[in-house]
Structure 1
Amino acid sequence: MDERVAAADRSLEIGDLSPLRGLVSREVMHDLEKKFERAMALKDFDVNDIDAARKYIEAYVIFFKTAEGHEDTHSHGHHH
């Protein structure tokens, strides 16, 4: 597993970005902050709310892709 992926997972687990510090550039970290906040805000969704689950998964994937180094994840077409 990529070290950045493990750190991103840990960040969501503990609720802060400290595991990613030093693993990504300052520019990426700045971009990750907003994506992390969105994922955290959607994390505790009602498991019976499919729309909320989809929104969390989308935010989760965008956060992880950015952590991995795929910087412009939102400009590509979304596939559902």
Structure 2
Amino acid sequence: MDTLIYLDSIEGLADYERFSVERDSAVPFWVVVGWKRKERTKLAEFITCRHALLFRALCESTAAFRQIATDARKGRGSLCVA
């Protein structure tokens, strides 16, 4: 298997403040990590760096969109972009 994704759902991605791609020294994998405050959570492992970078970009855009939608529901923003 060349990919392991540990997410149960995308719902929790908005909770993370940032995402990073790291090289796992124990095995030849690229790891996508989510950060909440100072807590580090492994979200996925990939054989190729390219796939890890694509997954990180997906996490970042999904988290940003969910935060915008949450803010709009709470009356703190709008989904409209001028």
TM-score, with structure 1 as normaliser? 0.37
Q: Which has the higher strand share?
A: 2
TM-score, with structure 2 as normaliser? 0.37
